[in-house]
């Protein structure tokens, strides 16, 4: 395995790695090092099934299972399916409030995976089984580069600030979806994380979300929202963003401590987009 191409401050294509390859701990250590360095890794032309994706991802740590059973693959609890095609092969209707519709809506906004958990996801692995001819790109923002480029007075202003991340906020984005159950609310109460976090390589990074975060602690609500919007706009400028144009067979691995991401629109009547996904659990609380 070697680095074929590097895009900017984030994003690297790896060559000579055909999955499902039997990878040993040394291979995974090397991959983890590359992930720490580049934030987003791209493996092209892979042919994987659910078990192969699980085996590859599992080398990076424990895999999360999603708390809502209807949003997991029916065959493997570690697999999330992000798609406009229902598992029975029916096309998704535009306003169906189905599982597919739910993921399509919440992934359209900048976020970092699992920030609604006390210990958020370390990394996410996303495999493009079928991808549209146009649209449906995934954008990644380098939150370490965005932080580093902030003016010193803004850095000082952010020092020590925390933001509230609440899974239930996703419900505002998906009108018609069933409300969160009492069990899920108990499982996933609102959590607070620092607005500036540590990540790999001794870097500090902005840690934001435009789907589950709303409030900055110790600030009037409107001021917190304005600050969040300002930081979202800042960090998603073109100069900090890598746009991934999918080819079928791509496997992406990204570091949720370092990057935010979103999915772009595509013509859902015309194209199918079927993504299989695993989430690698974090090892420690955000600090
Ligand atoms: C995700 C996600 C974006 C996409 O898998 O966590 O946000 O492009 N996906 O499907
Ligand atoms: Mn995501």
Q: What is the pLDDT of residues 53-102, one digit of tens each?
A: 999 999 999 999 998 888 888 899 999 989 888 777 777 665 567 787 88
Which fold is adopted by the domain 2-280?
Answer: Double-stranded beta-helix (3.60.130)
CA atoms within 13 A on the CB side of 103: 22
Residue nearest to atom 1 of ligand 1 (CA): 107
Gap from CA of 264 to ligand 1 centroid (Å) = 10
| Ligand 1 atom index nearest CA of 261 | 7
Instruction: Indicate the top mutation candidate among 124, 170, 253, 268 to test ligand 1's pocket, ranked by most ligand atoms within 8 A of CB.
Output: 124
Q: 3-class DSSP state for residue 95?
A: coil
Q: Residue 101: its pLDDT value, please?
A: 82
Q: Residue 98: its pLDDT value, please?
A: 79
At 152-209, the pLDDT tens digits run 999 999 999 999 999 999 998 888 888 999 999 999 999 999 999 999 999 999 999 9
- DSSP-assigned letter for residue 179: P
Q: Of 16-30, 92-106, 273-287, which one has max mean pLDDT?
A: 273-287
Domain segments of the chain: what residues?
A: 2-280
pTM: 0.96
Nearest to 204 by CA among 145, 157, 163, 164: 145
Q: Residue 93: its pLDDT value, please?
A: 64
Q: Residue 88: its pLDDT value, please?
A: 73
What residues contact 20, with CB distance under 8 A and at least 6 apart?
48, 51, 52, 55, 56
Which bound ligand lies closest to the C-alpha atom of 137? Answer: 1
Percent of the chain topping pLDDT 90: 80
- β-bridge partners, 197: 205
What's the mean pLDDT when you consider all of the chain? 94
Using the Cα atoms of residue 6, residue 43, residue 54 and residue 210 in order, give the sign of their dihedral: positive
Q: Residue 166: its pLDDT value, please?
A: 97
Instruction: Indicate the top mutation candidate among 109, 263, 279 to test ligand 1's pocket, ranked by most ligand atoms within 8 A of CB.
Output: 263
Ligand 1 site residues, Cβ closer than 6 angstroms: 82, 107, 113, 124, 126, 138, 261, 263, 275, 277
Instruction: Indicate the top mutation candidate among 66, 275, 279 to test ligand 1's pocket, ranked by most ligand atoms within 8 A of CB.
Output: 275
At 204-243, the pLDDT tens digits run 999 999 999 999 999 999 999 999 999 999 999 999 999 9
At 107-165, the pLDDT tens digits run 999 999 999 999 999 999 999 999 999 999 999 999 999 999 999 999 999 999 999 99
């Amino acid at each position: 395995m070697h680095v074929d191409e590097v895009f900017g401050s984030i994003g690297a294509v790896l060559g000579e790695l055909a999955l499902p390859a039997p990878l040993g701990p040394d291979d995974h250590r090397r991959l983890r090092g590359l992930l720490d360095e580049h934030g987003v890794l791209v493996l092209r032309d892979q042919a994987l099934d659910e078990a192969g994706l699980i085996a590859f991802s599992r080398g990076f740590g424990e895999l999360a299972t999603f708390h809502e059973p209807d949003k997991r693959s029916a065959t493997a609890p570690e697999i999330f399916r992000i798609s406009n095609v229902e598992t029975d092969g029916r096309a998704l209707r535009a306003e169906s409030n189905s599982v597919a519709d739910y993921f399509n809506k919440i992934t359209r906004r900048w976020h970092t995976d699992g920030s609604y958990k006390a210990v958020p996801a370390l990394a996410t692995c996303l495999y493009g089984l079928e991808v549209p001819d146009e649209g449906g790109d995934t954008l990644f923002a380098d939150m370490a580069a965005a932080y580093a480029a902030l003016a010193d007075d803004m850095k000082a202003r952010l020092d020590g600030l925390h933001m509230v991340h609440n899974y239930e906020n996703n419900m505002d984005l998906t009108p018609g979806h069933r409300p969160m159950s009492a069990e899920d609310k108990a499982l996933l109460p609102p959590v607070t994380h620092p607005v500036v976090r540590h990540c790999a390589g001794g870097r500090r990074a902005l840690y934001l979300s435009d789907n589950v975060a709303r409030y900055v602690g110790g600030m009037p609500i409107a001021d917190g929202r304005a600050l969040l919007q300002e930081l979202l706009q800042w960090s998603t400028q073109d100069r900090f963003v890598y746009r991934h144009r999918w080819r079928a067979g791509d496997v992406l691995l990204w570091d949720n401590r370092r990057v935010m991401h979103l999915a772009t629109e595509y013509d859902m009547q015309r194209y199918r987009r079927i993504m299989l996904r695993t989430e690698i659990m974090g090892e420690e609380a955000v600090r």
